[in-house]
Protein backbone atom coordinates (compact mmCIF):
# COMPACT_ATOMS: atom_id res chain seq x y z
CA UNK A 1 0.00 0.00 0.00
CA UNK A 2 1.36 3.39 -0.97
CA UNK A 3 1.15 5.78 1.93
CA UNK A 4 1.99 9.00 0.12
CA UNK A 5 0.86 10.32 -3.23
CA UNK A 6 2.81 12.39 -5.74
CA UNK A 7 3.84 15.80 -4.47
CA UNK A 8 6.40 18.42 -5.48
CA UNK A 9 9.12 17.90 -2.91
CA UNK A 10 11.98 19.64 -4.68
CA UNK A 11 11.22 23.38 -4.14
CA UNK A 12 10.99 23.14 -0.36
CA UNK A 13 14.09 21.02 -0.21
CA UNK A 14 16.16 23.37 -2.35
CA UNK A 15 15.17 26.34 -0.23
CA UNK A 16 16.22 24.35 2.82
CA UNK A 17 19.59 23.52 1.28
CA UNK A 18 20.21 27.09 0.20
CA UNK A 19 19.93 28.45 3.74
CA UNK A 20 22.92 26.38 4.77
CA UNK A 21 24.92 26.90 1.59
CA UNK A 22 24.51 30.66 1.73
CA UNK A 23 25.44 30.72 5.40
CA UNK A 24 28.59 28.64 5.01
CA UNK A 25 29.99 29.52 1.61
CA UNK A 26 33.01 31.80 1.61
CA UNK A 27 33.42 33.03 -1.95
CA UNK A 28 37.00 33.01 -3.23
CA UNK A 29 38.03 35.23 -6.12
CA UNK A 30 37.95 33.78 -9.61
CA UNK A 31 41.46 33.57 -11.00
CA UNK A 32 40.30 33.58 -14.61
CA UNK A 33 37.73 36.11 -15.77
CA UNK A 34 34.80 35.04 -17.90
CA UNK A 35 34.02 36.42 -21.32
CA UNK A 36 31.01 36.50 -23.65
CA UNK A 37 30.53 34.91 -27.03
CA UNK A 38 27.92 35.86 -29.64
CA UNK A 39 25.72 32.81 -30.10
CA UNK A 40 22.78 32.15 -32.42
CA UNK A 41 19.38 31.90 -30.74
CA UNK A 42 18.27 29.32 -33.32
CA UNK A 43 20.99 27.28 -34.98
CA UNK A 44 18.84 25.48 -37.55
CA UNK A 45 16.91 28.48 -38.80
CA UNK A 46 17.20 31.30 -41.30
CA UNK A 47 16.61 33.73 -38.43
CA UNK A 48 19.79 35.50 -37.38
CA UNK A 49 18.94 36.49 -33.81
CA UNK A 50 21.81 36.26 -31.34
CA UNK A 51 22.50 36.43 -27.62
CA UNK A 52 25.58 36.72 -25.43
CA UNK A 53 26.69 33.42 -23.92
CA UNK A 54 29.18 33.43 -21.07
CA UNK A 55 32.27 31.25 -21.12
CA UNK A 56 35.59 30.68 -19.38
CA UNK A 57 38.93 29.42 -20.69
CA UNK A 58 41.85 28.19 -18.58
CA UNK A 59 44.91 27.80 -20.81
CA UNK A 60 47.97 28.62 -18.72
CA UNK A 61 49.41 25.13 -19.34
CA UNK A 62 48.28 24.71 -22.93
CA UNK A 63 50.75 23.85 -25.65
CA UNK A 64 49.86 23.65 -29.35
CA UNK A 65 48.03 20.45 -30.14
CA UNK A 66 47.26 19.73 -26.50
CA UNK A 67 43.78 18.41 -25.64
CA UNK A 68 40.78 20.57 -24.83
CA UNK A 69 38.74 19.54 -21.80
CA UNK A 70 35.25 20.91 -22.40
CA UNK A 71 33.26 21.03 -19.17
CA UNK A 72 29.54 20.89 -20.01
CA UNK A 73 27.69 23.32 -17.76
CA UNK A 74 24.24 22.22 -16.66
CA UNK A 75 21.21 23.73 -14.91
CA UNK A 76 22.95 26.34 -12.77
CA UNK A 77 24.51 29.70 -13.47
CA UNK A 78 27.98 28.84 -12.22
CA UNK A 79 30.37 30.98 -14.20
CA UNK A 80 29.97 34.50 -12.72
CA UNK A 81 31.12 33.56 -9.23
CA UNK A 82 33.45 31.05 -7.63
CA UNK A 83 31.76 29.62 -4.57
CA UNK A 84 31.96 26.24 -2.88
CA UNK A 85 28.36 25.55 -3.84
CA UNK A 86 28.97 26.23 -7.51
CA UNK A 87 32.00 24.07 -8.23
CA UNK A 88 32.70 25.68 -11.59
CA UNK A 89 35.58 24.49 -13.71
CA UNK A 90 38.26 26.14 -11.56
CA UNK A 91 37.09 23.88 -8.75
CA UNK A 92 37.06 20.69 -10.83
CA UNK A 93 39.76 18.12 -11.51
CA UNK A 94 40.22 19.26 -15.12
CA UNK A 95 42.80 22.05 -14.52
CA UNK A 96 44.99 19.45 -12.80
CA UNK A 97 44.58 17.08 -15.72
CA UNK A 98 45.26 19.90 -18.19
CA UNK A 99 48.50 20.75 -16.41
CA UNK A 100 49.66 17.14 -16.59
CA UNK A 101 49.02 16.73 -20.31
CA UNK A 102 49.48 20.36 -21.50
CA UNK A 103 45.83 20.91 -22.30
CA UNK A 104 43.29 23.64 -21.68
CA UNK A 105 39.93 23.68 -19.90
CA UNK A 106 36.95 25.49 -21.36
CA UNK A 107 33.35 25.85 -20.26
CA UNK A 108 30.25 27.42 -21.75
CA UNK A 109 27.32 28.53 -19.65
CA UNK A 110 24.09 26.70 -20.53
CA UNK A 111 21.66 28.89 -22.45
CA UNK A 112 18.94 30.45 -20.24
CA UNK A 113 21.03 29.98 -17.08
CA UNK A 114 23.17 32.54 -15.29
CA UNK A 115 23.88 35.50 -17.56
CA UNK A 116 23.29 33.60 -20.81
CA UNK A 117 19.66 34.50 -21.40
CA UNK A 118 18.61 33.83 -24.98
CA UNK A 119 15.25 35.64 -24.82
CA UNK A 120 13.67 38.69 -23.20
CA UNK A 121 10.11 37.38 -23.66
CA UNK A 122 7.89 37.05 -20.59
CA UNK A 123 5.49 34.41 -21.91
CA UNK A 124 7.07 31.03 -20.96
CA UNK A 125 6.14 29.36 -24.26
CA UNK A 126 7.74 32.14 -26.28
CA UNK A 127 10.69 32.68 -23.94
CA UNK A 128 11.89 29.09 -23.96
CA UNK A 129 11.06 28.26 -27.56
CA UNK A 130 14.78 27.96 -28.37
CA UNK A 131 15.55 25.80 -25.31
CA UNK A 132 15.87 22.60 -27.30
CA UNK A 133 18.44 19.84 -27.08
CA UNK A 134 19.48 20.57 -30.67
CA UNK A 135 20.31 24.17 -29.78
CA UNK A 136 22.11 23.23 -26.56
CA UNK A 137 24.31 20.76 -28.45
CA UNK A 138 25.01 23.21 -31.25
CA UNK A 139 25.91 25.89 -28.72
CA UNK A 140 28.73 23.57 -27.66
CA UNK A 141 29.72 22.69 -31.23
CA UNK A 142 29.83 26.35 -32.27
CA UNK A 143 31.80 27.32 -29.18
CA UNK A 144 34.37 24.59 -29.82
CA UNK A 145 34.80 25.90 -33.37
CA UNK A 146 35.27 29.42 -32.00
CA UNK A 147 37.94 28.28 -29.55
CA UNK A 148 39.83 26.27 -32.15
CA UNK A 149 39.91 29.19 -34.56
CA UNK A 150 40.85 31.90 -32.07
CA UNK A 151 43.43 30.23 -29.81
CA UNK A 152 46.77 29.63 -31.53
CA UNK A 153 47.71 25.97 -31.65
CA UNK A 154 44.21 24.68 -30.83
CA UNK A 155 42.97 23.97 -34.35
CA UNK A 156 44.02 20.30 -34.27
CA UNK A 157 43.35 19.75 -30.57
CA UNK A 158 41.14 16.81 -29.61
CA UNK A 159 38.18 17.61 -27.38
CA UNK A 160 37.18 15.59 -24.31
CA UNK A 161 33.71 16.54 -23.07
CA UNK A 162 32.56 15.92 -19.51
CA UNK A 163 29.81 16.90 -17.11
CA UNK A 164 27.81 15.51 -14.24
CA UNK A 165 24.19 14.51 -13.60
CA UNK A 166 22.08 16.44 -16.16
CA UNK A 167 25.43 17.59 -17.51
CA UNK A 168 26.35 13.90 -17.76
CA UNK A 169 23.24 13.31 -19.85
CA UNK A 170 24.25 16.22 -22.10
CA UNK A 171 27.81 14.91 -22.29
CA UNK A 172 26.55 11.54 -23.50
CA UNK A 173 24.15 12.98 -26.06
CA UNK A 174 26.71 15.48 -27.39
CA UNK A 175 29.36 12.79 -27.86
CA UNK A 176 26.91 10.41 -29.53
CA UNK A 177 25.53 13.00 -31.94
CA UNK A 178 28.70 14.95 -32.74
CA UNK A 179 31.53 12.38 -32.60
CA UNK A 180 33.46 14.31 -35.24
CA UNK A 181 33.74 17.25 -32.80
CA UNK A 182 34.05 15.45 -29.47
CA UNK A 183 36.80 12.85 -29.48
CA UNK A 184 36.07 11.41 -26.04
CA UNK A 185 33.67 11.84 -23.14
CA UNK A 186 33.48 11.31 -19.39
CA UNK A 187 29.84 11.61 -18.24
CA UNK A 188 29.60 11.52 -14.45
CA UNK A 189 26.43 10.07 -12.92
CA UNK A 190 24.31 10.42 -16.06
CA UNK A 191 20.67 9.42 -15.32
CA UNK A 192 20.23 7.84 -18.73
CA UNK A 193 17.53 5.35 -17.74
CA UNK A 194 15.02 7.47 -15.84
CA UNK A 195 13.36 9.37 -18.65
CA UNK A 196 9.62 9.70 -18.11
CA UNK A 197 7.44 7.01 -16.55
CA UNK A 198 9.40 3.83 -17.16
CA UNK A 199 9.96 0.60 -15.31
CA UNK A 200 13.34 1.67 -13.95
CA UNK A 201 12.04 4.51 -11.78
CA UNK A 202 12.15 2.28 -8.71
CA UNK A 203 15.86 1.79 -8.96
CA UNK A 204 17.01 5.14 -7.55
CA UNK A 205 15.55 4.39 -4.13
CA UNK A 206 16.44 0.72 -4.42
CA UNK A 207 20.03 1.91 -4.66
CA UNK A 208 19.52 4.30 -1.73
CA UNK A 209 18.27 1.33 0.27
CA UNK A 210 21.36 -0.72 -0.52
CA UNK A 211 23.74 2.04 0.62
CA UNK A 212 22.45 1.80 4.20
CA UNK A 213 21.90 -1.95 4.34
CA UNK A 214 25.44 -2.48 3.06
CA UNK A 215 26.90 -0.21 5.75
CA UNK A 216 24.92 -1.67 8.64
CA UNK A 217 21.94 -4.02 8.60
CA UNK A 218 21.25 -3.11 12.23
CA UNK A 219 21.12 0.61 11.46
CA UNK A 220 19.06 0.12 8.29
CA UNK A 221 16.45 -1.88 10.18
CA UNK A 222 16.23 0.82 12.87
CA UNK A 223 15.86 3.49 10.17
CA UNK A 224 13.09 1.48 8.47
CA UNK A 225 11.22 1.08 11.75
CA UNK A 226 11.58 4.78 12.59
CA UNK A 227 10.18 5.89 9.24
CA UNK A 228 7.37 3.33 9.39
CA UNK A 229 6.36 4.69 12.80
CA UNK A 230 6.46 8.25 11.49
CA UNK A 231 4.28 7.29 8.51
CA UNK A 232 1.73 5.82 10.91
CA UNK A 233 1.70 9.07 12.90
CA UNK A 234 1.14 11.00 9.67
CA UNK A 235 -2.14 9.15 9.15
CA UNK A 236 -3.61 10.98 12.14
CA UNK A 237 -4.14 14.73 11.59
CA UNK A 238 -4.74 15.05 15.31
CA UNK A 239 -1.00 14.67 15.85
CA UNK A 240 0.17 17.51 13.60
CA UNK A 241 1.08 19.85 16.48
CA UNK A 242 3.22 17.19 18.12
CA UNK A 243 4.74 16.20 14.77
CA UNK A 244 5.71 19.81 14.05
CA UNK A 245 7.32 20.09 17.47
CA UNK A 246 9.14 16.77 17.23
CA UNK A 247 10.55 17.60 13.78
CA UNK A 248 11.26 21.27 14.56
CA UNK A 249 9.11 22.43 11.63
CA UNK A 250 8.80 26.16 11.01
CA UNK A 251 5.04 25.84 10.57
CA UNK A 252 2.43 23.24 11.40
CA UNK A 253 1.14 21.14 8.47
CA UNK A 254 -2.64 21.30 8.75
CA UNK A 255 -3.59 18.89 5.97
CA UNK A 256 -2.70 15.47 4.64
CA UNK A 257 -1.13 17.20 1.63
CA UNK A 258 1.04 19.22 3.97
CA UNK A 259 2.18 16.07 5.73
CA UNK A 260 3.04 14.57 2.34
CA UNK A 261 5.31 17.52 1.67
CA UNK A 262 6.98 17.10 5.05
CA UNK A 263 7.62 13.43 4.33
CA UNK A 264 8.96 14.37 0.93
CA UNK A 265 11.48 16.79 2.44
CA UNK A 266 12.59 14.11 4.91
CA UNK A 267 12.90 11.45 2.21
CA UNK A 268 14.82 13.67 -0.16
CA UNK A 269 17.20 14.82 2.57
CA UNK A 270 17.77 11.17 3.42
CA UNK A 271 18.66 10.50 -0.21
CA UNK A 272 20.94 13.53 -0.46
CA UNK A 273 23.08 12.40 2.47
CA UNK A 274 24.73 9.58 0.47
CA UNK A 275 24.34 11.33 -2.88
CA UNK A 276 26.33 14.39 -1.74
CA UNK A 277 28.67 12.70 0.74
CA UNK A 278 31.79 14.31 -0.71
CA UNK A 279 35.02 14.36 1.27
CA UNK A 280 35.82 17.92 0.20
CA UNK A 281 34.35 20.57 2.55
CA UNK A 282 33.86 22.80 -0.49
CA UNK A 283 31.41 20.31 -1.94
CA UNK A 284 29.98 19.06 1.36
CA UNK A 285 30.15 21.91 3.89
CA UNK A 286 27.79 20.01 6.18
CA UNK A 287 30.08 16.98 6.40
CA UNK A 288 26.99 14.77 6.08
CA UNK A 289 27.71 11.14 5.21
CA UNK A 290 25.72 7.90 5.35
CA UNK A 291 28.22 6.55 7.88
CA UNK A 292 27.42 9.46 10.22
CA UNK A 293 23.71 8.71 9.90
CA UNK A 294 24.41 5.04 10.59
CA UNK A 295 26.40 5.93 13.72
CA UNK A 296 23.65 8.24 15.01
CA UNK A 297 21.03 5.60 14.26
CA UNK A 298 22.85 2.86 16.13
CA UNK A 299 23.13 5.00 19.26
CA UNK A 300 19.66 6.60 19.02
CA UNK A 301 17.30 5.91 21.93
CA UNK A 302 14.13 7.17 20.21
CA UNK A 303 12.88 6.61 16.64
CA UNK A 304 12.24 10.35 16.20
CA UNK A 305 15.95 11.02 16.80
CA UNK A 306 16.75 8.93 13.72
CA UNK A 307 14.26 10.88 11.60
CA UNK A 308 15.61 14.20 12.87
CA UNK A 309 19.17 13.15 12.04
CA UNK A 310 18.22 12.89 8.36
CA UNK A 311 17.32 16.59 8.52
CA UNK A 312 19.95 18.03 10.85
CA UNK A 313 22.94 16.36 9.18
CA UNK A 314 22.34 18.55 6.13
CA UNK A 315 20.69 21.45 7.96
CA UNK A 316 22.65 22.18 11.16
CA UNK A 317 20.41 23.78 13.83
CA UNK A 318 22.92 26.58 14.37
CA UNK A 319 22.38 27.63 10.75
CA UNK A 320 18.82 26.47 10.13
CA UNK A 321 16.72 27.25 13.23
CA UNK A 322 13.69 25.36 11.90
CA UNK A 323 12.76 23.13 8.97
CA UNK A 324 10.79 24.88 6.23
CA UNK A 325 8.65 22.49 4.19
CA UNK A 326 5.95 24.66 2.58
CA UNK A 327 7.85 27.05 0.31
CA UNK A 328 7.51 26.98 -3.46
CA UNK A 329 10.54 29.16 -4.11
CA UNK A 330 14.18 28.20 -3.99
CA UNK A 331 16.54 30.55 -2.23
CA UNK A 332 19.46 28.90 -4.03
CA UNK A 333 20.79 31.58 -6.33
CA UNK A 334 22.52 29.11 -8.64
CA UNK A 335 19.40 27.06 -9.38
CA UNK A 336 17.01 28.55 -11.91
CA UNK A 337 13.87 26.45 -11.81
CA UNK A 338 11.95 27.90 -14.76
CA UNK A 339 14.35 26.95 -17.57
CA UNK A 340 15.14 23.63 -15.91
CA UNK A 341 11.44 22.80 -15.64
CA UNK A 342 11.05 23.62 -19.32
CA UNK A 343 13.88 21.38 -20.47
CA UNK A 344 12.59 18.51 -18.32
CA UNK A 345 9.33 18.87 -20.20
CA UNK A 346 10.97 19.18 -23.59
CA UNK A 347 13.77 16.60 -23.71
CA UNK A 348 14.87 15.49 -20.23
CA UNK A 349 11.67 14.47 -18.36
CA UNK A 350 13.08 12.90 -15.21
CA UNK A 351 11.01 10.55 -13.13
CA UNK A 352 13.17 9.72 -10.16
CA UNK A 353 11.32 9.58 -6.87
CA UNK A 354 9.36 6.35 -6.95
CA UNK A 355 9.90 4.68 -3.57
CA UNK A 356 8.88 1.01 -3.71
CA UNK A 357 7.50 -1.26 -1.03
CA UNK A 358 10.13 -2.74 1.25
CA UNK A 359 12.31 0.36 1.27
CA UNK A 360 13.72 2.02 4.39
CA UNK A 361 11.51 5.00 3.54
CA UNK A 362 7.70 4.84 3.25
CA UNK A 363 6.51 3.94 -0.27
CA UNK A 364 5.22 6.73 -2.51
CA UNK A 365 3.69 7.02 -5.94
CA UNK A 366 5.76 8.28 -8.83
CA UNK A 367 6.74 11.94 -8.86
CA UNK A 368 8.41 13.55 -11.83
CA UNK A 369 10.57 16.66 -11.65
CA UNK A 370 7.98 18.37 -13.85
CA UNK A 371 4.68 16.55 -14.11
CA UNK A 372 3.04 16.06 -17.53
CA UNK A 373 0.08 18.29 -16.69
CA UNK A 374 2.39 21.22 -15.93
CA UNK A 375 4.28 20.56 -19.16
CA UNK A 376 1.11 20.68 -21.23
CA UNK A 377 -0.56 23.62 -19.50
CA UNK A 378 2.44 25.90 -18.90
CA UNK A 379 4.71 25.08 -21.83
CA UNK A 380 2.36 23.35 -24.31
CA UNK A 381 4.73 20.38 -24.40
CA UNK A 382 4.20 16.64 -24.17
CA UNK A 383 7.24 15.01 -22.52
CA UNK A 384 8.95 12.30 -24.57
CA UNK A 385 9.21 8.72 -23.39
CA UNK A 386 12.38 6.80 -22.56
CA UNK A 387 12.16 4.95 -25.88
CA UNK A 388 11.72 8.17 -27.85
CA UNK A 389 14.72 9.83 -26.18
CA UNK A 390 16.93 6.77 -26.73
CA UNK A 391 15.95 6.45 -30.39
CA UNK A 392 16.10 10.13 -31.33
CA UNK A 393 19.44 10.86 -29.67
CA UNK A 394 21.13 7.48 -30.21
CA UNK A 395 21.64 6.58 -26.56
CA UNK A 396 20.22 3.07 -26.44
CA UNK A 397 22.40 0.47 -24.77
CA UNK A 398 23.33 -0.97 -28.17
CA UNK A 399 24.32 2.49 -29.43
CA UNK A 400 26.45 3.24 -26.38
CA UNK A 401 28.29 -0.09 -26.42
CA UNK A 402 29.29 0.48 -30.05
CA UNK A 403 30.48 4.05 -29.49
CA UNK A 404 34.20 4.55 -28.78
CA UNK A 405 35.91 6.52 -26.01
CA UNK A 406 33.26 7.12 -23.35
CA UNK A 407 33.80 6.50 -19.63
CA UNK A 408 30.46 6.21 -17.82
CA UNK A 409 31.41 7.07 -14.24
CA UNK A 410 29.06 6.02 -11.45
CA UNK A 411 29.46 5.97 -7.66
CA UNK A 412 28.53 3.52 -4.91
CA UNK A 413 26.95 6.11 -2.59
CA UNK A 414 25.01 7.82 -5.38
CA UNK A 415 21.39 6.69 -5.87
CA UNK A 416 21.61 8.06 -9.42
CA UNK A 417 23.65 4.94 -10.20
CA UNK A 418 20.37 3.04 -9.90
CA UNK A 419 18.99 4.86 -12.95
CA UNK A 420 22.20 4.82 -14.96
CA UNK A 421 23.16 2.36 -17.64
CA UNK A 422 24.09 -1.24 -16.91
CA UNK A 423 27.74 -2.37 -16.91
CA UNK A 424 29.30 -2.97 -20.32
CA UNK A 425 30.84 -6.28 -21.35
CA UNK A 426 34.65 -6.27 -21.10
CA UNK A 427 36.64 -5.39 -24.20
CA UNK A 428 40.32 -5.88 -25.05
CA UNK A 429 40.36 -2.47 -26.75
CA UNK A 430 41.33 0.54 -24.63
CA UNK A 431 39.37 2.84 -26.94
CA UNK A 432 36.17 0.92 -26.23
CA UNK A 433 33.65 2.68 -24.04
CA UNK A 434 33.54 1.47 -20.47
CA UNK A 435 31.44 1.57 -17.32
CA UNK A 436 33.17 2.21 -13.98
CA UNK A 437 31.91 2.23 -10.40
CA UNK A 438 33.82 4.07 -7.65
CA UNK A 439 33.35 2.58 -4.20
CA UNK A 440 32.14 4.88 -1.39
CA UNK A 441 32.06 7.86 -3.77
CA UNK A 442 29.36 10.52 -4.01
CA UNK A 443 27.60 12.01 -7.05
CA UNK A 444 30.37 12.73 -9.57
CA UNK A 445 32.95 13.05 -6.80
CA UNK A 446 35.90 12.25 -9.07
CA UNK A 447 35.18 15.39 -11.11
CA UNK A 448 35.83 17.69 -8.14
CA UNK A 449 39.26 19.25 -7.58
CA UNK A 450 41.56 17.03 -5.56
CA UNK A 451 41.58 17.46 -1.79
CA UNK A 452 44.06 16.16 0.75
CA UNK A 453 41.31 14.22 2.50
CA UNK A 454 40.03 12.51 -0.65
CA UNK A 455 38.91 8.89 -0.42
CA UNK A 456 41.54 6.51 -1.84
CA UNK A 457 38.91 5.06 -4.16
CA UNK A 458 38.24 8.51 -5.64
CA UNK A 459 41.95 9.21 -6.11
CA UNK A 460 42.30 5.88 -7.91
CA UNK A 461 39.24 6.52 -10.10
CA UNK A 462 40.63 9.86 -11.25
CA UNK A 463 43.90 8.20 -12.18
CA UNK A 464 42.08 5.47 -14.12
CA UNK A 465 40.11 8.09 -16.03
CA UNK A 466 43.12 10.24 -16.87
CA UNK A 467 45.31 7.31 -17.91
CA UNK A 468 42.51 6.09 -20.17
CA UNK A 469 42.26 9.55 -21.74
CA UNK A 470 46.02 9.58 -22.31
CA UNK A 471 45.69 6.34 -24.27
CA UNK A 472 42.80 7.76 -26.28
CA UNK A 473 45.00 10.71 -27.20
CA UNK A 474 47.84 8.46 -28.30
CA UNK A 475 50.26 9.76 -25.67
CA UNK A 476 51.50 6.20 -25.08
Which CATH number belongs to the domain containing residue 410 in this structure? 3.40.50.1820
Judgement on whether residues 153 and 173 belong to the same structural domain of the protein = yes
Q: Give the tens place of pLDDT for each residue, 380-426.
A: 998 888 899 999 999 999 999 999 999 999 999 999 999 899 999 98
Q: How far apart are CA 360 and CA 220, in angstroms?
A: 7
Residue 59 lies in a domain: yes
Q: Please indicate, yes or no, whether residues 278 and 302 belong to a single structural domain of this protein.
A: yes
207 and 182 within one domain: no
Higher pLDDT: 167 or 7? It is: 167
- The whole-angstrom distance between residue 430's C-alpha and the CA centroid of its chain comes to 28
Residue 152 shares a structural domain with residue 222 = no
pLDDT at residue 90 in the model: 65
- Give residue 288's domain range: 10-24+197-378
323 and 246 co-located in one domain = yes
Average pLDDT, the chain: 87
pLDDT at 84 over 80: no
143: in domain = yes
The answer as to whether 30 is a domain residue is: no
* Separation between Cα atoms, residue 451 and residue 459, nearest integer Å: 9
pLDDT band at 352; cut points 50, 70, 90: low
- Domain boundary (318, 349, 378) is at 378
Q: Are residues 222 and 349 in the same domain?
A: yes
What is the domain count for the chain? 2
Provide the pLDDT confidence category of residue 160 given band limits of 50, 70 and 90.
very high
In a domain, 325, yes or no: yes
Same domain, 57 and 188: yes
What average pLDDT does this structure show over 296-316? 97
Among residues 354, 378, 402, which one ends one of the domains?
378
Rounded to whole angstroms, the Cα distance separating 321 from 375 reads: 35
Last residue of one domain, picked from the residues 326, 355, 378: 378
Residues 99 and 181 in one domain: yes
pTM beyond cutoff 0.85: yes
Pick the range with the lowest mean pLDDT from 25-29, 74-78, 186-190: 25-29
Segment 451-470 shows an average pLDDT of 97
Instruction: Summarize pLDDT for 9-60 with one digit per residue, the tens.
Output: 444 343 444 333 333 333 345 678 889 999 999 999 888 899 999 999 999 9
Does residue 328 lie in a domain region?
yes
Q: Does residue 202 share a domain with residue 188?
A: no
Residue 1 lies in a domain: no
Convert the chain into a string of H (helix), E (strand) and C (coil): CCCECCCCCHHHHHHHHHHHHHHHCCCCCCCCCCEEEEEECCCCCCCCCEEEEEEEEECCCCCCCCCEEEEECCCECCCCCCCCCCCCHHHECHHHHHHHCCCEEEEECCCCCCCCCCCCCCCHHHHCCCCCHHHHHHHHHHHHHHHHHHCCCCCCCCEEEEEECHHHHHHHHHHHHCCCCCCEEEEECCCCCCECCCCCCCHHHHHHHHHHHHHCHHHHHHHHHHHHHHHHHHCCHHHHHHHHHHCCECCCCCCHHHHHHHHHHHHHHHHHHHHCCCCCCCCCCCCCCHHHHHHHHHHCCCHHHHHHHHHHCCCCCCCCCCECCCCCCCCCCCECHHHHHHHHHHCCCEECCCCCCCCCCCCECCCECCCHHHHHHHCCCCCCCHHHHHHHHCCCHHHHHHCECEEEEEECCCHHHHHCCCCCCCCCCCCECEEEEECCCCCCHHHECCCCCCCHHHHHHHHHHHHHHHHHCCCC
Considering the domain architecture, whether residues 237 and 188 belong to the same structural domain is answered as no
Share of the chain above pLDDT 70, in %: 85
Please indicate, yes or no, whether residues 168 and 75 belong to a single structural domain of this protein.
Answer: yes
Summarised one tens digit per residue, pLDDT across range 105-139 is: 999 999 999 999 999 999 999 999 999 999 999 99
Q: Are residue 262 and residue 233 in the same domain, yes or no? A: yes
Question: What does the pLDDT read at residue 115?
Answer: 93
Please compute the mean of the pLDDT values over residues 284-308 and round it to a whole number: 97
Amino acid sequence: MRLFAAETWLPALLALQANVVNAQANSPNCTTKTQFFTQLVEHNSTANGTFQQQYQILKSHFKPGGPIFYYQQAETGTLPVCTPSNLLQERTIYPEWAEEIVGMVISLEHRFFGLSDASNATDPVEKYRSLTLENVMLDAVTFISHVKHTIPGANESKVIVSGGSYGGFLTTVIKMNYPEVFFGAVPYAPPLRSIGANYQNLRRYDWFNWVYWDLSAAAASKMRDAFTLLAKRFENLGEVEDIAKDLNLCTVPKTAAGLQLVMGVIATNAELIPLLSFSSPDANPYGATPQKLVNITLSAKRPIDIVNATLTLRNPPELVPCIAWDTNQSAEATLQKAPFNHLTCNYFPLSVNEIPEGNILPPTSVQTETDPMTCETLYKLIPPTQAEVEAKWHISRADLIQAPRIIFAYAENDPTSGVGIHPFPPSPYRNASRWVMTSLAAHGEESIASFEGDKPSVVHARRVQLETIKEWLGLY
